[in-house]
Amino acid sequence: MHIAIISDIHDNIPNLEKVLDYCRKEKIGKMICCGDLMTVETLGHLNENFSGEIFFALGNADQRHFPEELFKNHAYGKTKVLESFGEEEFDGKRVAFVHFPEAARELAETGKYDFVFHGHTHKPWEEMIGNCKVLNPGNVANQHYPPTFAIWNTKNDLFKLVRLNSLK
């Protein structure tokens, strides 16, 4: 299975469209978003234009823009919405995802997860904390650093950093 990992979209719909086009072409079936979509309209756009399952942990820029019922229901369309962090299992691997790097480090240090994904810094990054790989896919928004996202192949645990500026 291949999973797209995105973060820090900040309402940049043209760049989000590049991500979605890539996912359609590559038949990506799941997406993890590590926060800062920005508005419920962007979440709606993502929901309408991605055919697979979406897992979304809210970021600091999301909190003030989303309706309260979103937090109560923990869902928006086919998107599972987590207020602070999410955890899932994919192909037998335990995964956590969150917006903030400090929280990612704390989650990784528990020893409970194989992978922890986060955003917030806008900079692609990966490191090992114990036996846990911590990864930041960068940002879709094209703010502070060139826009990127990651693709995770869950069968062999390889990650590919996709540079949006190199996509057509």
pTM of the predicted structure, to 2 decimals: 0.95
Residue 69 predicted with pLDDT over 80: no
Burial code (b: 16+ CB inside 10 Å, e: under 16) for 68-104 equals: eebeeeeebeebebbeebbbbebeeeebbbbbbbebb
pLDDT at 64: 72
Query: Cα dihedral angle (103, 146, 30, 62), rounded to 10 degrees?
Result: 50
Where do the domains of the chain lie, and which CATH numbers do they carry? Answer: 2-166 (3.60.21.10)
- Kindly report the number of other CB atoms within 10 A of residue 17's CB atom: 13
**pLDDT (0 to 100) of residue 82:** 87
Can you tell me the mean pLDDT for 24-48?
Answer: 95
